[in-house]
Amino acid sequence: MEDIYAKTSSLNDSLFKQLIGVNRSTFTHMLEILNKAYQAEHLTGGRPRCLSLENQLFLTR
């Protein structure tokens, strides 16, 4: 699986918004919230994820 987040990290802010649909700062804030929720839900273990949280957010966006 290719890493979409790594490919978009080199884009400037306007191209990032055109491709993803949200500002980079908004995406980062959404990622922080998702990371906190993931950690809270998986305190006692669980199935490991196949995609990184960044790529999951790209797919659900």
**What would the pLDDT profile of 1-55 be if each residue is shown by its tens digit?**
567 778 888 889 999 898 888 999 999 999 999 999 988 888 888 788 888 888 8
Residue 43 sits at the vertex; the CA angle it makes with 39 and 57, to the nearest 5 degrees, is 25
Its pTM stands at 0.76
- The predicted pLDDT at position 32 comes to 95
